[in-house]
Chain A
Amino acid sequence: MLEQLLVSARSNPHVDPIISVWGWEISVYLFLGGLTAGIMFFSALMMILKKDEQAPFAVNGLSLLGPVVLSMGMTTLFLDLSHPLFVWRFYTTFEPTSPMSYGAWILVLFYPVSILQVLSTFRSGYGLLASLVDGFPLVGTVLDWAERYRRAIAWLALPIAVGLGIYTGILLSAFSARPFWNTGLLGPLFLVSGLSTGAALTALIARRHSERRLFTLIDAGLIVVELIVVALLLVNLSTGAALQLEAAGKLLGGSYTVAFWGVFIALGLLLPLILEYFEIRGMARRLAILAPVLVLVGGYVLRVIAVDLGQETTWTHYTSEFNTQLLDRLR
């Protein structure tokens, strides 16, 4: 038996007794970042595939949601910073070993391309708004120019969307100190989940039947891929060394079992997959709205589980001798 007691009263906030530095702000940001990746990916892909007839909303209207959703995510990310006045320091350097640094620069690349996407489809997607501003000098010229290069812009957007989606997972997986995160599968998992939530959102908003059907099909395919990646992640964790086994234990019978199996897998993946199957078969139309909503909820729950559980897995386990709550009174 080995008992390791902290005999000096260490109780550093957010570090003891377990690391809890990242909360809902990071989960929301990772979720919205993935969703934005999905939005940008499908608006660009449908443009490249010339699906104007079959999927008019994805081609013309969807891209406007990108900067809106990502800006919400960046707001919560900013709220997480404990030294926020120095946020500009992300942009005075590039740190090649830090995924977060890549992320900060991907976010900067995202905005101009996303705005070009919006401009190139503004007249066809938001005709009323466009007619209001079209009369101004320069605006018409800019819109003309963007429309002429709309497919080139879409090709530019595709790799940025994939980069954004995969980065949200790599961000966590690069932490060797947190055994649950430290697997390369987190990148693909977050990418697929982000694309799936993007497809679900499109299916939720689209009015035309052919478009809803197309995105329901796409989403069902992505859910199957996501289930496979999740299975691989579980195999990876449960065949790992002691630290991975401890992390796996939290999903397989431990404190995250209900959230993971009950909410994420059952309600967030399996149930929408079944509903989408019925929808594709032309059955249970009234429940059509439920599947995409569940996919979005499942995507968020996945981020919450990943962020929270990851921080609980660690190399260092000490028991404190002191009632650390008494220390809070000193602060």
Chain B
Amino acid sequence: MTHYAMVIDTKLCIGCCDCVVACKTENKVPVGLNRDWVVEATQGTYPNLSTEFRSERCNHCSNATCVTMCPTGASHYWNGSNIVLVDPNKCTGCKACIAACPYDARLIMHPGGYIDKCTFCSHRVEKGLDPACVSTCPTRCMHFGQLDDPSSTVSQLLKSRKYKVLNPETGNQPNVYYLI
């Protein structure tokens, strides 16, 4: 299995939201909907505060509950990798996948009616390019690559830096990593 991962350096991210705009432009996401978003997490009590910016999206989980729960096979792993895609021609709009995602990372695409979400820009990955959000980031805090390859940037970063994933207790094995 090709194991794709995104590694985002929260020490470099300034929360500019360029990734959000890049995604909307690249994937022609309809007005008012978003496939990725930025969270500002502030911890502590004034004046001892620390802030972390996180660019969030579908975690393309290795054990994706949205794929497990899909009754028609519309939610599927792309080419035997961990990239989770939805096939609009199989999706009935039953919305089980939305309820099944512990990260609330799926959205209903209007007006089509089928479910849409982040694709890790599989159409770009296919050509050897980075996802649009990664290639746009002005602070270069986002990285994309394969974890099977020990020499890839993402593997090296996870070897050398402290990191976390969101809610690992879900058991979904998310693949968006945050360097902390």
B5 in contact (CB, < 8 A): no
B102 near A81: Cβ-Cβ < 8 Å: no
Count of interface residues, chain B, beta-carbon cutoff 8 Å: 52
A3 near B68: Cβ-Cβ < 8 Å: no
B167 smallest CB distance to A (angstroms): 5
Given the contacts A176-B171, A328-B32, A84 and B39 also touching, CB distance less than 8 Å:
no
B37 near A82: Cβ-Cβ < 8 Å: no
How distant is the Cα of A176 from the Cα of B114 in the complex, in angstroms?
A: 23
How distant is the Cα of A311 from the Cα of B98 in the complex, in angstroms?
A: 10
Of the listed stretches A96-104, A222-230, A271-279, chain B binds A96-104
Contact partner of A98 (CB less than 8 A), chosen from B31, B42, B71, B106, is B71
B106 near A15: Cβ-Cβ < 8 Å: yes
Interface residue ranges of A282-331 to B (CB < 8 Å): 310-311, 314-316, 318, 327-328, 330-331
How distant is the Cα of A328 from the Cα of B39 in the complex, in angstroms?
A: 21
B41 in contact (CB, < 8 A): yes
A90 in contact (CB, < 8 A): yes
How distant is the Cα of A95 from the Cα of B70 in the complex, in angstroms?
A: 8
B71 near A100: Cβ-Cβ < 8 Å: yes
Contact partner of A6 (CB less than 8 A), chosen from B39, B98, B108, is B39
A10 near B99: Cβ-Cβ < 8 Å: no
A89 near B90: Cβ-Cβ < 8 Å: yes
A3 near B102: Cβ-Cβ < 8 Å: no
B99 near A8: Cβ-Cβ < 8 Å: no
A235 in contact (CB, < 8 A): no
Contact partner of A1 (CB less than 8 A), chosen from B43, B68, B102, B107, is B43
Given the contacts A86-B89, A175-B99, A316 and B40 also touching, CB distance less than 8 Å:
no
A239 in contact (CB, < 8 A): no
Contact with B along A1-31 (1 / 0, CB 8 A): 1111111111111111001011000000000
Least CB separation from B54: chain A residue: A4
A84 near B108: Cβ-Cβ < 8 Å: no
Interface residue ranges of B126-180 to A (CB < 8 Å): 167, 170-171
Given the contacts A87-B92, A177-B100, A5 and B68 also touching, CB distance less than 8 Å:
no
B95 in contact (CB, < 8 A): yes
B73 near A93: Cβ-Cβ < 8 Å: yes
Q: Write out the residue numbers on chain A whose beta carbons fall within 8 Å of the beta carbon of B112.
A: 83
Given the contacts A6-B38, A14-B98, A82-B113, A19 and B72 also touching, CB distance less than 8 Å:
no
How distant is the Cα of A328 from the Cα of B73 in the complex, in angstroms?
A: 32
Given the contacts A8-B38, A90-B92, A175 and B72 also touching, CB distance less than 8 Å:
no
A323 smallest CB distance to B (angstroms): 13
How distant is the Cα of A228 from the Cα of B70 in the complex, in angstroms?
A: 32
Given the contacts A81-B94, A83-B93, A95-B70, A327 and B38 also touching, CB distance less than 8 Å:
no
Least CB separation from B36: chain A residue: A8
How distant is the Cα of A60 from the Cα of B68 in the complex, in angstroms?
A: 41
B103 near A315: Cβ-Cβ < 8 Å: yes
Q: Write out the residue numbers on chain A whose beta carbons fall within 8 Å of the beta carbon of B98.
A: 14-15, 19, 21
B51 smallest CB distance to A (angstroms): 9
Q: Write out the residue numbers on chain B whose beta carbons fall within 8 Å of the beta carbon of A86.
A: 72, 89-93, 114
Which 10 A-B pairs rank lowest in CB-CB distance, beginning with the nearest?
A82-B93, A83-B93, A100-B71, A12-B107, A177-B102, A83-B113, A21-B95, A10-B37, A101-B71, A82-B113
Instruction: Please name 14 pairs of A and B residues whose Cβ atoms are closer than 8 Å in the assembled complex, sorted by A.
Output: A6-B38, A7-B53, A8-B36, A10-B34, A12-B107, A13-B32, A86-B91, A89-B74, A89-B90, A95-B73, A100-B94, A101-B72, A177-B100, A315-B167
Given contacts A81-B93, A174-B69, 9 further A-B contacts (CB under 8 A): A3-B42, A12-B108, A13-B110, A19-B104, A82-B93, A97-B68, A97-B69, A316-B167, A330-B32
